[in-house]
Amino acid sequence: MTTAFITGITGQDGYYLANHLLAAGYEVHGLVRGQRNPKRRDVERDLPDVKLHDGDITDEASIRRLLARVAPDEVYNLAAVSYVQYSFENPVLTAETTGVAVLRLLEVLRDHPTVRFYQASTSEMFGLAASSPQNESTPFHPRSPYAVSKVFAHHAVVNYREAYGLFAVSGILFNHESPRRGAEFVTRKVTQGVAAIKAGRKDMIELGNLDARRDWGFAGDYVRAMHLMLQQPSPSDFVVGTGTTHSVRDLVSVAFRVAGLDWQQHVKSTADNLRPADVPDLRADASRAKQKLGWTSETSFEDLIAAMVEADIRRSETAAG
């Protein structure tokens, strides 16, 4: 039985990846930061076959002990400070958790040379991209402390792969969402807001730049690409995305339409919600992933947003009932 170790197991991607690996017959272990982590109970309830371990990705000694005990065949690093706005407010913490911690992981993996390692990179690294769409050769131009930290981690993976022969890869994933997306992200801010307005508990959603465009896909599709990257004969990095962009305005329009509401009566853009340095347009060229991995996105933008809105409306009704 193949054994996988997942950091960030309590997040959206951690859930979908663990579920995918369990279905593939893996033994799955997950890292949980803090014994009082409220999301721990969610994992224990929804993924009872996952073995959870307390630890901290920023603590090299604890990671070293855990990897020696678990002896995984594959390690997936999904842990990070991943909310862009938060990274502007807490840049040093973001750098430690999202960047330097990856270097510590790679140092530990030098003592486990047969382990295959996946690093969650991000399209935010492209930032103010010089060309569109973006592929594996597009230069990085990060526009937030989060993106800068991810660039550091990404290059660390390349360096350790080339210097020490580790099977270490990065998936440059474009925005991927689901009903399990964190409430701080714009997609859930919109879908939760729609549910609250539908229930009569709220009247207005305040957002930032409605013209910003992103390549949005379904997280459940994207974790398949993560797994496929570690099954290749040799390690390399891949861009993963749908190749289609939508604006925040499109997101809002679809979400409100699902609920039978007029978004123009309930949405406004405010200066307080604008980023200090914005990223106007990101679109993936995932042709290499399609060719080499046989991967394609299977869920449309409209179906994704509809599923998220419907899930949040159900949650709202359950909470009220």
The candidate with the shortest Cα–Cα distance to 177, out of 109, 82, 315, is: 82
Please tell me the predicted confidence (pLDDT) of residue 9: 95
Residue with tokens 């197991």, as numbered in its chain: 9
146 labelled catalytic? yes
> What pLDDT was estimated at residue 244?
97
Write down the catalytic residue from 94, 97, 98, 122. Answer: 122
Chain centre to alpha carbon of residue 264: 29
**What domains, with CATH codes, occur in the chain?**
3-176+218-240 (3.40.50.720), 182-214+244-282+300-320 (3.90.25.10)
Q: Which two tokens stand for residue 132?
A: 């569109």
Amino acid residing at 218: F
Quickly list H helices, the chain.
12-23, 40-46, 60-70, 84-89, 91-94, 101-109, 145-164, 186-198, 219-229, 248-258, 287-288, 301-320
Q: Rounded CA gap, 145 and 90, in Å?
A: 8
* Cβ atoms 134, 279 nearer than 8 A: no
The whole-number pLDDT of residue 38 equals: 81
pLDDT of residue 35: 63
User: Residue ranges of the chain with pLDDT lower than 50?
Assistant: none
Report the candidate in 308, 212, 205 with the shortest Cα–Cα distance to residue 255.
308
Residue of 15, 146, 160, 222 marked active site: 146
Neighbour tally for 262: CB within 10 Å? 10
Give 173-192 pLDDT, tens digit per residue: 999 999 999 998 999 999 99
pLDDT score recorded for residue 177: 97
Is 299 an annotated catalytic residue?
no
State the burial class of residue 124 (Cβ atoms within 10 Å of its Cβ: 0-12, 13-18, 19+): buried
Catalytic residue among 76, 98, 118, 124: 124
